[in-house]
Amino acid sequence: MTETPHRSLPVALIVAMRPRQWLKNVLVFAAPLAAGAIFEPGILAPTLGAFVAFCLISSATYLVNDARDIDADRA
């Protein structure tokens, strides 16, 4: 039987948040970039906000799902 290495809580939390999946959220920049308006006043900040919000929401969804499925994952 092999023993799994223990990670520190912050590292484990970051891994569980699946930051590799955040790349998908870059799509919120597609429309402003295509319109050539990404650097216009009032465009960049809300777009960045949407990107961060999508990342946090998707990570929260992963964390809740992992917490709900913990017993099934151990079986």
Alpha helices in the chain (DSSP H): 9-16, 30-34, 44-68, 70-74
Q: Look at the chain and count its residues.
A: 75
Model pLDDT, residue 3? 61
Which pLDDT belongs to residue 4? 63
Q: Is 42 strand, coil or helix?
A: coil
Supply the pLDDT for residue 75: 65
Per-residue pLDDT of the chain (75 residues; tens, 9 = 90+): 556 667 799 999 999 999 999 999 999 999 999 999 999 989 999 999 999 999 999 999 999 999 998 877 776
